[in-house]
A and B are shown apart, each in its own frame.
Chain A
Amino acid sequence: EAQVTQNPRYLITVTGKKLTVTCSQNMNHEYMSWYRQDPGLGLRQIYYSMNVEVTDKGDVPEGYKVSRKEKRNFPLILESPSPNQTSLYFCASSFLGVGSYEQYFGPGTRLTVT
């Protein structure tokens, strides 16, 4: 089944404790991205990647890191989480090229930083 998986689905952590949220897709998509969703603000893109070893900042990259060492995986790293990073995070992927850029979303990771 074609899908985007994220882990963990829920995470409660404390300020400053490094964490990684994993994202994996099995559709051989070139494009992957991370979003955070906050009430009233919609989806804001954190980072995106157009291929292996190619990453770019989105609208809200501060406090986050990403890497794209393999085509299928795009982990999101919070080196020193702070309470303002409490949010719902989505990973998404799509093909890149002529045609549709339909984004396939993972189920989301709800992060709470205390």
Chain B
Amino acid sequence: EPEVTQTPSHQVTQMGQEVILRCVPISNHLYFYWYRQILGQKVEFLVSFYNNEISEKSEIFDDQFSVERPDGSNFTLKIRSTKLEDSAMYFCASSELVPNEQYFGPGTRLTVT
């Protein structure tokens, strides 16, 4: 069964460093999403992406964040200068169409020290 994959599973970085989190969505899906869950809090929406552009973003998704689909398979989330409060589990999701069901990857745990 097709699945969303994410790498790495755990990333440790120092405050101020740039990180790129990678996702491979399901191949025929057209909509891509990033969510995150800070420990002890709700999973929260960051951004949705369609047709090579951002469709919607939350207020969390400020200028420090960017997303890209650099080729036909990967979908990346870049954080330019990480802060301690960026430590969270980051989930990628994809859906074939809107408002079809979203399929989630296993997440990348980002730890900023």
B and A form one assembly: no
